[in-house]
Amino acid sequence: MKISFLIHTIYGIGGTIRTTLNLAEELVGRHEIEIVSIFKHRDDSAFDIDPRISLVPLFNNNKKSPGCELENPLHKEPAEAFPRNEARYKEYSKLIDQRVRDHYAASDADVVIGTRPGLVAYVSQFAPGGAVVIGQEHMTHNHHKKALREEMRPFLADLDAFVTVSEGDAAVWREHMPLEDTRILSIPNSVPQPTVAPSDLSGNLVVAAGRLSREKQYEILIKAFAKVAAKHPDWTLRMCGWGGEKDNLRRHILKYKLANQVQLMGPRSPIDPEWVKGAIAVSTSRHESFGMTLVEAMRNGLPVVSTDCNYGPREIITSGEDGLLVPVGKADAVARALLTLIEDEELRRRMGKAAIENSRRFDPGAVAQRYLDLFAELGAEDTTGRRAPAAPAD
């Protein structure tokens, strides 16, 4: 069976790129996989990609490349097949419409998967006849403006399935946009088995990871950690990631006199070696569509303190078993949860052990099997006319 993923770019760093690669690399041992990347802004991917995966870039926007196509006259004309209310609309063009149309007109893919709203619209329109067509939602229903949701309705109605990363979000889509012929369901993102040994939880380090953006509410975390540091000055907090809030967070660190106890580490890749240095992981987001960093931390043996924001964390963490959920925006609650785990080593170790066990359900093999089952249920056939084979049982 041939499976084609259509992605904005495979040459950057981001959650959709990582989860697409996790799934593709799990499937490529059993099926033919291609990743069609709309843009190619650099020569090589930021990730090591299994050479069995076929990479198909459609548009060269690398300004350093002699083949850069940004000045192509057809690229100056606005896209007609890409939704006008999509956040990336201005990056697309009539030339890109044509490239996607031409690629799939010649394609023999059995399954085609679009990975963001505009690309879901593309696969809805251009996927080869007879292919199973699937849209993925890596954000949430409420993240998108009403105008985009309405513009997307006819494209979603033409899909075989629309897959969200949380059951909570799938339920919202089913309630607010019921689609008679499109199956709406959730399949979580996957996180591979770490390549390092789990944390022994013996250190005095709390680790957070993610974009330094307002939605992560790291100023709440810094305020909470000031309360932790007052009781346990030997503990430190490391925040891994990049983003526009860096300077603002530095000001908060200085405000609470935490320069020696809170460190902005910048981006870290791979991230596993950073997790295993820690004894506790923490997230203070006000919104998550899923929560990749939570699963990463758990797979590395860390109990997690997380805000109970919509969707992701509450479907990942079993509060009191493998971590603690706290109200959104409440620094005191975050501090209390951190102090609970800092001051009870036995509880911390018990939760860390449970975190490893409970996070196995996000292993790429388990997630890929759910996709294979979906392909088969939707009637996907390979080029010889056979149904998609199920993966061998564990």
Q: For position 342, which CATH number holds?
A: 3.40.50.2000
Do 176 and 213 share a structural domain? no
- Does the residue 389 lie in any domain? no
Tens digit of each residue's pLDDT (9 = 90 or more) over 66-122: 999 999 999 999 999 999 999 999 999 999 999 999 999 999 999 999 999 999 999
Q: Are 159 and 185 in contact (CB under 8 A)?
A: no
Do 210 and 184 share a structural domain? no
Q: Find the mean pLDDT for residues 39-43.
A: 96
Do 79 and 28 share a structural domain? yes
391: pLDDT strictly greater than 70: no
Do 183 and 212 share a structural domain? no
pLDDT confidence tier of residue 176, bands split at 50, 70 and 90: very high
Q: Find the mean pLDDT for residues 139-160.
A: 97
SS3 279: coil
The pTM for the full model equals: 0.91
- Does the residue 228 lie in any domain? yes
389: pLDDT strictly greater than 80: no
Tens digit of each residue's pLDDT (9 = 90 or more) over 291-305: 999 999 999 999 999
- What is the span of the domain harbouring residue 50? 2-190+363-377
Name residue, tokens 């959709």.
16
Do 371 and 352 share a structural domain? no
Name residue, tokens 């963001």.
116
Do 369 and 356 share a structural domain? no
- Does the residue 394 lie in any domain? no
Name residue, tokens 């294979």.
372
d(CA 179, CA 113): 18
Do 223 and 153 share a structural domain? no
- Does the residue 262 lie in any domain? yes
Q: E strand or H helix at 164, and its extent?
A: strand 161-164
For residue 290, the 8-state DSSP code is S
pLDDT confidence tier of residue 385, bands split at 50, 70 and 90: very low
- Does the residue 159 lie in any domain? yes
Do 166 and 143 share a structural domain? yes
Q: Tell me the residue type at 335.
A: A
Give Cβ neighbours of residue 346 (< 8 Å, ≥ 6 apart): none
383: pLDDT strictly greater than 60: no
- Does the residue 345 lie in any domain? yes
- Does the residue 42 lie in any domain? yes
Do 238 and 331 share a structural domain? yes
Name residue, tokens 């809170």.
262
Q: E strand or H helix at 262, and its extent?
A: strand 262-266
Quote the number of domains for the chain.
2
Tens digit of each residue's pLDDT (9 = 90 or more) over 240-289: 999 999 999 999 999 999 999 999 999 888 899 999 999 999 999 999 99
Do 267 and 350 share a structural domain? yes
Tens digit of each residue's pLDDT (9 = 90 or more) over 203-226: 999 999 999 999 999 999 999 999
- Does the residue 11 lie in any domain? yes
Do 226 and 302 share a structural domain? yes
Q: Pick 53 or 13 by higher pLDDT.
A: 53
pLDDT confidence tier of residue 46, bands split at 50, 70 and 90: confident
Do 215 and 167 share a structural domain? no
